[in-house]
Amino acid sequence: MKEFLQFEDLTISYGGHKVVTSLSGKFVPGKVNLVVGRAGSGKSSLLLTVAGFHKEFSGKIRDENGKFDPSGNFSLAFQNPESLFFNATAGDEVEFALRMRQLPESEIIDRARGWLLRWGLEPDQYYKIHPHELSGGEKRRLALAACTVFLPPLILLDEPLAGLDRRGQTSLATMLAEMAAKHIVVVVTHEPEIFIQNQSRILFLKEGRGDWFDGNEFLALSLKNSDFYPLPGWYERAMTNFTDRADLPEVNATAVAEFLKRAASNANRL
């Protein structure tokens, strides 16, 4: 497991035009690292630079061993990762990454079946099914399982929740949060509210600059100024009176209801 992935004065350009300037800071395991910002702010460019596919940059990308070497150390999935399917069965799709790493045959099947199960796809039911016969949410889980089965220390995902319904998004976000316990998971997203927890690490890219926030700071700033980042209206209305609190709840109805109940009982006690 990697301890961190650190940027030192990282500047990323495209054809001489700077998209990210002097970025410093680090991604860590434990919580999902979110990268947010408007279209064109350099989110995807940052992922491609970390993955070693984009070379037009200056500054350093380091891990605990020194200069970060991406080869074989990361998985990368773009929006609609299910477009990568090319095998006849879901099982073959998951096995592919393990075969490419020349693992023993018995280990390949065991790991592939175990990994499918981990992503909520019962192997007895899904292993021999053609990937395109699955539902949208199942396809997405299969695609992410196939991209991560070799357990890379760094997982880079570009808008992995796009196109899913809210239930599918929440369930996928939970799985990614679980993976973040042992991997550095970096997620580029336009829906950070699904992932944000108090200790989440958020890199906000705006006009070439990158600012780092923890979950509470990000929520508080967004509540005070919706131009900073627009949160769902119901959350803004429910939390209007609590913008200075250091324990803002996650953006989901249950967490907000519990928070409001606690706040009301505290007020009664006073």
Partner 1 sequence: MQIGFKQGSSFLYRLNPLVKRGLAFVLIIFFSLAALEVSLLAGFLVCLLAMLLLARLPLRSIFFSIRRISLLLIIVGLVQGFKGDGFDLLAAFEGIIRILGVFFTAGVYLTISPQSELMYFWEIVFMPLEFFRLPARELALVMVIAVRFLPVMLTEIDRIRMAQIARGARLSGGFFSSAASLMPLMIPTLSQAIVKAEELAEAMEARGYRVSAARTRYHRFRFSFFDLIWVTLAGVIFVLTIVSRFSNFNFWC
Site residues, partner 1 (CB under 8 A): 15, 48, 51, 53, 72, 74-78, 81, 83-86, 96-97, 99-101, 146-147, 150, 156
Residue 48 or 109 with smaller CB distance to partner 1: 48
Q: Which of 159, 191, 193, 250 is catalytic?
A: 159
Decide if 159 is catalytic: yes
Residue 97 or 219 with smaller CB distance to partner 1: 97
Residue 81 or 215 with smaller CB distance to partner 1: 81
Nearest approach, Cβ of residue 106 and partner 1 (Å)? 19
Nearest approach, Cβ of residue 43 and partner 1 (Å)? 14
Residue 101 or 224 with smaller CB distance to partner 1: 101
Nearest approach, Cβ of residue 79 and partner 1 (Å)? 9
DSSP letters spanning the chain: --S-EEEEEEEEEETTEEEEEEEEEEE-SSSPEEEEE-TTSSHHHHHHHHHTS---EEEEEEETTEE---TTSEEEE-SSGGGG--SSSHHHHHHHHHHHTT--HHHHHHHHHHHHHHTT--HHHHTTS-GGGS-HHHHHHHHHHHHHTT--SEEEEESTTTT--HHHHHHHHHHHHHHTTTSEEEEE-S-GGGT--TT-EEEEEETTEEEEEEHHHHHHHHHH-TTT----HHHHHHHGGGTT-S-PPPSSHHHHHHHHHHHHHHHHH-
Nearest approach, Cβ of residue 85 and partner 1 (Å)? 7
Residues labelled as active-site residues? 159
